[in-house]
Structure 1
Amino acid sequence: MILFPSRTIAIEVFGFAIHWYGLLYLAGFLLAMVLLPRLQKYRQMSWKKEQWNDLVFWGVLGVVLGGRIGFVLFYEPLYFLQNPLEIFAVWKGGMSSHGGFVGVILVLLFVMRTHLQQIFVLGDIVTVPAALGLAIGRIGNLINQELYGFPTTLPWGITIPGVEGLRHPTALYSSLGNMCIAALCFWHLRSTKKPGMTSVLFLALYAVSRFLIEFLRVPSHSVVDVGVMTLTRGQVLSIMVLLSALLVWWLVQCDKMWCGE
């Protein structure tokens, strides 16, 4: 049985509660600020540190706004339509990694709007800190005792207060999976010079890993019946991410690409 911190509040400063989830988000963004300037050499970029810091700033907005809006639209549209002010209550939870993807993509398009040929170059560099950020964020889900899995007899099962039996630590599975994705993307970034292909790898690996882990996770929202089987909303969104990976792959193969190949 795995034991982990069950207190969602990390520290309190003058009566103000600082949650683990917020600290982990901060750690992910700080890690991105450290890694991005060091990774750019693998795509022959020469941005200054200040430029990368600006990108991380916009990335924070993209992840937070995209993640929240994605959760509202993908998972609880009727609830938030009836309670619109709850959209701003982000401290109560409710973020979508798929929505965060959309937010980051919009940020990349905004930042590189005058240099579209560089969009895939920048996307490749972002993959490693993005995967690590996802891994760190899932630790927050674990601490919050949310997004847990179905019952298991495996020795690494976790206990959830008020929930019967040991459960698959699916948030931990996701975290470890994203760490592996980060390692593979780093290897690919170093060994492949063609812009865009590391982005394809990242999107495809994330989509497949998320799709598979969803089979072990207790659905937090209604499932989707596609005829031959039922899929969670996360699986449906993961299929869309996989299709976007195929789209990027197709664009990279085209002769008339932004990257100029």
Structure 2
Amino acid sequence: MGKQTGIIKFTGKLGPLIGYYSGGEYLVRSVPERVRQSPSTRLAAQHFGKASALACTMRTALRPLLHIPPDNNIVNALNKKMHTILRADDLHRHKRFIPRHFQQLRGFTFTPRGSLMRSLPCDPVVSRHFDGSIHVHIPAMKAPGSHPSGTHVLVQAIALWTNGTSSSAASSEPMLLEASQPSEAFTLKIEAGGEGVCCVILEAIACQTFNGKPLLMRHQRHIACEVIAVLPPQRTRETFTAVYPEGDEALRKVGIVEYIPPKRE
């Protein structure tokens, strides 16, 4: 391993050399003459490649809908999480994505330095209706959390569907809340979209008005984006049994086929 000292530095393979960036420095090493792999290491590499490929489709589907800045650390974190979900399959030698294991994605954050509870101090409630639409109910709040100089908070819900090989996503209409005023309860609706497991993501970003228009602030502590619920593939209306919390008559209304209570610490 050596350091790159030239004016032009590179990453990746270049002839017999491999350049890479680590610890704030550009380093270089030689390409190994021979790589020995056992059947088990070869299979493990295939599993990681399969998990990374699905994570890539998920990021690609989300990219045009998210307002958060790109972060390379999230790429690695999502790849690792999907690899863990794939390895949870203990029935097949060639691992498969099992829908129930996607529950491990609940609580996954795309903004490690920002907290959803800080930006949106409430317990969202997620429900899915017979038509496939997803509703995220945001209860009333005294005041949304925001940056000290922020005037508003942008709130948006996103549904990410994945069937183990491909992914698609759709978002609700964004809601702009005044940071210094109490907020009434409201619901974000996402129209029915793809098929497969559905990850419901809630995004809350501090904004500042400029010439009467809200501009997104890039302060990392006040940008939050987190998976708040994971819904299994939707079954047909004839075979689905509605599930409701006991005693909660307010949610026993026609149309709701699935209910996820708010996450309480």
Shorter-chain TM-score above 0.5: no
Structure number with bigger Rg: 2
* TM-score, normalised relative to structure 2: 0.34
* TM-score, normalised relative to structure 1: 0.34
